[in-house]
Amino acid sequence: MAQTNLGMEFGSSYVSIVKQGEGLVLKQSNLIAVKKENNNYYNYCVGEKAKNLLGKTDDRIVVFSPVNGGEIISLPHAVYELKEYLNQLHIKRNLFNKLKIILAVSTALSKDEKQKYIELCESVGAKEVILIPKIICSAVGENINIGANNARLVVDIGGGTVECAVINLNTIIQGSTLALGGRNLDTTIVDYVKQKYNAVIGIKSAQLLKEQIGSLYPNDSAEMEVNAVDVSTNTPLFIKVTAKDIFEATYLFLDEVIKIIKTTINTLSPEISSDVVRNGITICGGYSKMVGLEKYLRQKLGLNVLISDNSESATVNGLSKIVNQHELLEKILLNL
């Protein structure tokens, strides 16, 4: 009997799938568009096609993510979306091909919430489902030797959650999860622009502003022109948003991130704490590439902060290693 081994992150912002022997084979926005016809909603499209509809449709089409804050909020839509992706990849799911899925999930999930992810995978034909904490995958993706007796503090700032954990001897010694992420920051930017400029921008524009001129240097002079709608007249206009605006919208979010890092550190034993001080803090996730983040966190925390060139892909890179290295997977499973 043939077997297909997949690693998957079904996150708040993206669905990423890696295949044993091939690496990353799919990365799509975790969005689904549903269309209302005759008082019923029908699945319309998923992924990037759904993302391209944001702010461009009438009330008959609704675009949303079936995952929020790391939790599946609509299992039927999640199942439909994943089936679409597996079909795109031509992944066979039948009696003659065993499908095994290793899934990266938030450490804060309850038993019932984890069961939804298991049901998601089983609904698309998986015969074996293994759940691994996302932060473990991220640490592996950052080339951290998680099996060593040398504690490392890893912070993953994702689209829907912030994961903070101290990892030692293949297990999580201490950890915290914040149900905020890059998507919340996008909404914060929209709200900030509305308040300051009396104009409404779309979520896609907020994402572009964050990516293009987002900076944690208060004196950054970058600016970017975006489409908006005047709140008072409801007419279209262009506004210039500055890097300072993004900083003002961002620092309150980062204050929450700093709080959970400090809370985690303050619970550590002297031996583990000394490892963390010596090794510094590894930051990864989609938000890790904001300009000035490394310096900002270093100043606020008083510790060395490490952000690698591929930090935004840490979870996927870790999943790829775990899917392809059976011994590594076994060591992780022994300590879950």
**Predicted pLDDT at 94:** 67
**176 and 276 in one domain?**
yes
- The Cα–Cα gap between 67 and 158 comes to 13
Distances (CA, A) of 258 to 164, 207, 265, 295, 313: 10, 22, 11, 13, 22
Are 159 and 254 part of one and the same domain?
yes
3-class state of residue 54 by DSSP:
coil
Q: Report DSSP state, residue 313.
A: G
- For residue 196, tell me if it sits in a domain: yes
Show which of 203, 234, 249 is a domain's final residue. 249
- Does one domain contain both 168 and 200? no
Residue 1 has a pLDDT of 59
Would you say residue 272 lies in a domain?
Answer: yes
d(CA 53, CA 218): 34
Each residue's pLDDT expressed in tens, for the chain with a length of 336 residues: 578 899 999 998 999 999 999 999 999 999 999 998 887 888 999 999 999 998 888 889 999 999 998 999 999 999 999 999 999 998 876 666 789 999 999 998 999 999 999 999 999 999 999 999 999 999 999 999 999 999 999 999 988 889 999 999 999 999 888 888 878 888 999 999 999 999 999 988 998 999 899 888 888 899 999 999 999 999 999 999 999 999 998 888 899 999 999 999 999 999 999 999 999 999 999 889 889 999 999 999 999 999 999 999 999 999 999 999 999 999 999 887
CATH of the domain at 190: 3.90.640.10
Distance CA 161, CA 261 (A): 14
pLDDT at 251: 84
pTM confidence score: 0.92
Q: Verify that 22 and 105 share a domain, yes or no.
A: yes
Assess if residue 259 is contained within a domain: yes
- Contacts of 87 by beta carbon, 8 Å cutoff, 6+ apart: none
The residue whose two tokens read 């679409």 is: 84
Alpha carbons within 13 A on the beta-carbon side of 223: 7
Chosen domain end from 215, 249, 283: 249
Q: Label residues 232-260 b or e (16+ Cβ within 10 Å = b).
A: eeeeeeebebbbbbbbebbeebbeebeeb
Alpha-carbon span 128 to 110, nearest angstrom: 20
Q: Is residue 229 part of a domain?
A: yes
DSSP 275-294: HHHHH-EEEESTTTTSBTHH
Residues 177-206 have pLDDT tens digits of 888 887 888 899 999 999 999 999 998 899
Residues 263 and 305 in one domain: yes
Range of the domain at 80: 2-30+65-137+315-334
Give the pLDDT score at 95. 61
Domain total in the chain = 3
Domain membership of residue 60 (yes or no) is no
Residue pair 82/10 in contact by the 8 Å Cβ criterion: yes
* Per-residue model confidence (pLDDT) at position 96: 63
Edge to edge, the sheet with strand 40-46 lists: 40-46, 32-37, 61-64
User: 38 lies in a domain?
Assistant: no
CATH code for position 329: 3.30.420.40
Residues 281 and 154 in one domain: yes
Which residue is listed with tokens 């992810």? 117
Whether 231 contacts 225, CB under 8 Å = no
Q: Is residue 48 domain-resident? A: no
Which of 82, 84, 89, 67 has the alpha carbon at shortest distance from 126?
82
Task: Tell me, yes or no, whether 172 and 293 share the same domain.
Answer: yes
Q: Within this chain, do residues 172 and 186 fall inside the same structural domain, yes or no?
A: no
The DSSP call for residue 215 is B
pLDDT in tens, 288-324: 988 999 999 999 999 999 999 999 999 999 999 999 9
Assess if residue 46 is contained within a domain.
Answer: no
Give the whole-angstrom CA distance, residue 158 versus residue 258: 15
The enclosing H or E element of 99 equals: strand 97-105
List all residues 6 or more positions away from 152 whose beta carbon is below 8 Å from its beta carbon: 139, 144, 146, 166, 167, 168, 275, 276, 279, 282
Question: Do 174 and 186 fall into the same domain?
Answer: no
